[in-house]
Amino acid sequence: MKTTAAEIYTAFAPLGLVKEMVGPDQPVHRIAPIEDCGPGDLVFVDKPKFAILVAQRRPAVVVTSFKLKTLFADRGDMTLLLTANVNLAQALIKQRYAGRQFDAAGWPQIHRSAVVHETAMLAATAVVEPRAVIGRNVRLGERTRIMAGAVVEHDAQVGSDTVVHPNAVIGYACLVGSESVIGAGAVIGSEGYGFAQDQQGKSHPIPQTGNVVLGDRVRVGANCCIDRAAYRTTRIGAGTKLDNLCHIAHNVEIGEDCLLTSMFCVAGSTTIGNRVMASGQTGVLDHLKICDNAVLLHRAGVTADIDQPGAYAGLPVQPLKEYLRNTAVFRMLADLRQRLLALERRDGPPDQ
């Protein structure tokens, strides 16, 4: 990495991300963690408790908030880049200057061990790494990378600037948007879970002949499974991010810009709105509707529709404040029972 404080300011000031530069221009050689920073480094500081450590280690550039500006007022050897959103600045600046360099792997554009069907249409800048398989009529967009061992089955399409990590599978006829990330071992378009039982209780599969459509900027974590629809489309909207080990069942529709963390599991034909957030191990039953801007916490178990924005928790889910009150009472149940038994022994049991 080789840049300067002024170059970073010039790059991000027009976007409104970095609003002010305080101090001299100086070179930046590394983006570093606060605990390990030193001269020539750039660090991000969003909490007052880090100010003393940063002052001791003396990095070249500190990206911080206007609120914390005064903590560095007497440090003339450090340049401040001031922003209203330190975390967003960290995301965008690190993406630009210190993100993963996939070209560092050193593979040729189309590795000789890759299997690419003669009908596949690959953009001139697409990359296919060792032992990847690209099926019939597949289309890959500009600068998209299919990493080692990944499979893109026939008639699938992947947009531009998307990375499909090792051993992931893009199932037949599925569509993946641009600027997306498919984690290692993830399966997009696995067979939906649909069976019919005969009189002897034997299960017979109902062919799942739909597909999966992922919008732009979708992130699918490692080892996620997204099932194809029975007839139409399982859909995940633009900007939604799935953590590792999530399961999305057939015919589910998830809106835009959702944040769904590890082990999120949703059953078939449920519709989830935009900007929904879910903490780890959240479960959602089938054929439900969850509105925009819902937040699901504490291993939430959703068994009925949610039609009002807000935070929910528990099984079955309750509004968060109600859940916290009930949890507090639950912890005292044993004590309350003992007190009730003592009252009954003193006054006798209640009249029948």
From residue 226, how far is each of 18, 149, 162, 242, 295 by CA, in Å?
Answer: 38, 19, 17, 11, 21
Tokens read off for 215: 């919008």
Q: For residue 129, with 0-12 CB atoms within 10 Å meaning exposed, 13-18 middle and 19 or more buried, which class applies?
A: buried
Q: Which of 316, 317, 328, 322 is closest to 294 using CA atoms?
A: 317
Marked catalytic residue, from 117, 154, 247, 250: 250
Smallest Cα–Cα separation from 179: which of 134, 240, 129, 118? Answer: 240
Angle at 262 between CA 259 and CA 263, to 5 degrees: 115
Whole-angstrom distance, CA of residue 202 vs CA of residue 167: 33
> DSSP per residue over 144-182, as a string?
-EE-TT-EE-TT-EE-TT-EE-TT-EE-TT-EE-SS-EE
Cβ-proximal residues to 335 (8 Å cutoff; 6+ apart), any chain: none
250 tagged catalytic: yes
Q: Are 266 and 294 in contact (CB under 8 A)?
A: no
Token pair 């990330």 is found at: 181
Q: Which residue has the tokens 């002949």?
A: 209
Rg of the Cα trace of the chain?
26
Longest dimension (CA), the chain: 88
Catalytic residues: 250
